[in-house]
Amino acid sequence: MQSSESKTGTVLAVLRADAGDDAAVAAAARLAARSDAPWHAVLVENAHTRRRGEAARLRTLELLRRAHAQGAVTAVLEGRDAPAVVAGYARRHGCTTAVLAREHGTAWWQVPFGRRLAQAAPELDLVDVAAPSTPVVTGPRARARRAPRPYVAAVTASLATALVALPLLPLLDVANVAMLFLLMVVLVAIRLGRGPAILATVVGFCALVVAAPRRQYDVSEFKYAVALIVMLAVGWITARLTSDLREQAESAIGREARTRALYEFARALSVALLTEQVFEITRRFLARTFDARAAILLPDDAGRLRWPVAEPGSDERVPVLSVLDMAAAQWAFEHAAPAGAGTDTLPSNPYLYLPLLAPMRSRGVLAVRVPDVAALLVPERRELLDAFAALAAIALERVHYVDVAQDAVVRMEGERLRNSLLAALSHDLRTPLTGLVGLSESLTLSRPPLAAAQMELATALRDEARRMSTLVANLLDMARIQSGGVKLNLQWQMVEETIGSALRACRWQLGARTVDTHIPRGLPLVRFDATLLERVLCNLLENAGKYTPPDAHVTVAARAEEGLLLVSVCDDGLGLPAGREDALFEKFVRGQQESSIAGVGLGLAICRAIVDAHGGRMRAFNRADAGACFELSLPLGDPPPLPDADTEHHDHPIDQHEH
């Protein structure tokens, strides 16, 4: 053995399910802390360690859990050749130092574990630590004191075989009688295990030796002595092999049962379409596999776990959780880590809380209460429980996205139906409204002029007809945009002309408001659909006319900046609702939900849809002093060259005092 006091690499503590495991773990923890190195703790299980008894195994598993709490990476390995398994693990994880307890009471024919590990991994530094000289009493001797019945049965079977076989010695050869004892030993090994089979071999051998002098042959003859010795050796080897095969068969049966339980659970969850079905399937399988009571806790919109609700007829399977239990479950949900029984967080809690970690996010917490908390230390059962939790989380996420998909389909169908209805109504109403607008305008221009009272009524009729016509036009435009029926007529044009056209078209909607334009000289040509962009500006100007006082100022500005043409329409009114600037561009959303101002909340939605179709962006914000501002941006691109000419910039033809 080598003792290392210098700085080491990764440290590996090797556990063998005996009394020295505590010392090995403590020494490895100290060595890793002193050298500031990571460390591992492993247990190799095979037939040899299982013969030490379940109590020793649970004690070692608890020691592994404590090592994990101290920062170690723990693992339970399986293999017949334990040193070779440990050497392979050390190479895979880059371990340079192995710590193991000093062995006591090793038989003369057995090679010590440390020496075999040194031969399997000569590159490892082995640290041999002192261990208690009196090992924990486990294995066959302890089991013999606790449960002597298998050994009594083995002695009884051996004596019964002697009573049947020894009277046959005068008729049969001693080798034939020995075969009867050998058959008895094999049956005892299959039924009762290795220890009773070895005891049956010894008893059978003694029975033959004692009974032979009274028979018709001389036991001192060499051939009979050889037969008896061979019987003892074959019985011993047969008992060992049969016991190993029995343990391997039991292990295989356990693995098959766990695999089948996992398969049946996954198959049952695959057809679940509702959250309640996932709850019921999970509770049923946990009760059948672990004899446990379980509940799934789901979070609300605020991220707080909701109390479990017992369904009619299933109250006995839904555990009753206290406030402290819910707090522990909330901790497990927020930290995405197990808590409760068998863990380092609240180990005295009777429940084990497993976060349901799905690929997208945590879906809740699985609260499980098992009758025997020590069963949670068994790696196979804990791994199966973790697999159940993972499958339940994936099922919950799948059900969630099924609901999301169904909601999306319903919304799409509703949107399509609404667009179809709006398009139909718009087409049916547009023609009579156009006629109504024309007739109302003709009425205001009739000769001789109408009386003052009649003129006021005719003017109000004209304005309302125009508003209704604009509303129907908005509905029709939105329906066309939603259905993809809008084709852009993109041309290289001057934005000044479109702004002037929009101001002329919206003169009646602005009323007495003052309009200022800020358009610098030499703006580049921009490729856009003039009709649709004019519609955007008209909607913005109409919006300014609706939500500002009659004496307000409206500013229309344009500028080129960083490859974009920026056009803004600002006012000095009350401004936009704080925090809802972007929401105003949604369909059927208005700045004031309850308002006497006419409109359905489609103007800004149409503006954003048209600007997005041009590859631009649109935003709304409040001005620093007062009022609201809507700004659209269009990409400049590469306009064609213009002929050289001395072009002058003219102010907008509309005199601001006319508004």
User: What homologous superfamily is domain 491-658 in, according to CATH?
Assistant: Histidine kinase-like ATPase, C-terminal domain (3.30.565.10)
Q: Which residue ranges does the chain devote to CATH 3.30.565.10?
A: 491-658
657: confidence class by pLDDT, cuts 50, 70, 90: very low
Summarised one tens digit per residue, pLDDT across range 439-468 is 887 887 877 888 888 888 888 887 778 777
Q: What is the pLDDT of residue 595?
A: 52
Q: What is the pLDDT of residue 177?
A: 74
Mean predicted confidence (pLDDT) in 60-64: 85
The CB density around residue 59, as the number of other CB atoms within 10 Å, is 20
pLDDT at 6 over 60: no
- Listed range (54-58, 288-292, 323-327, 591-595) with the worst mean pLDDT: 591-595
Mean predicted confidence (pLDDT) in 120-133: 85
Question: If you average pLDDT over each of 310-324, 385-399, 431-445, which comes out highest?
Answer: 385-399
Task: Return the percentage of the chain with pLDDT > 70, whole number.
Answer: 80
Kindly report the CATH class assigned to 10-139. alpha beta
Tokens at 580, concatenated: 């809802």
Kindly report the CATH class assigned to 270-406. alpha beta
Q: Which residue ranges does the chain devote to CATH 3.40.50.620?
A: 10-139
Mean predicted confidence (pLDDT) in 70-91: 88
CA–CA dist 532, 549 (Å, integer): 28
407: left (phi over 0), alpha (psi -120 to 50) or beta: alpha
Averaged pLDDT score across all residues of the chain: 79
Q: What is the pLDDT of residue 574?
A: 83
Task: Return the percentage of the chain with pLDDT > 90, whole number.
Answer: 21
Give the residue among 385, 357, 380 at the shortest CA–CA distance from 370: 385
pLDDT at 533 over 70: yes
Mean predicted confidence (pLDDT) in 105-116: 73
- The answer to whether 593 and 528 have CB atoms below 8 angstroms apart is no
Looking at the DSSP assignment, which residues form a beta bridge with residue 98?
12, 126
135: confidence class by pLDDT, cuts 50, 70, 90: very low
658: confidence class by pLDDT, cuts 50, 70, 90: very low
CA–CA dist 65, 380 (Å, integer): 14
Query: Three-state SS for 500?
Result: helix
225: confidence class by pLDDT, cuts 50, 70, 90: low
Q: What is the pLDDT of residue 188?
A: 82
491: left (phi over 0), alpha (psi -120 to 50) or beta: beta
The DSSP code for 641 is P
CA–CA dist 159, 170 (Å, integer): 19
322: confidence class by pLDDT, cuts 50, 70, 90: confident
CA–CA dist 556, 543 (Å, integer): 13
Q: What is the pLDDT of residue 197?
A: 78
477: confidence class by pLDDT, cuts 50, 70, 90: low
Q: What is the pLDDT of residue 144?
A: 39
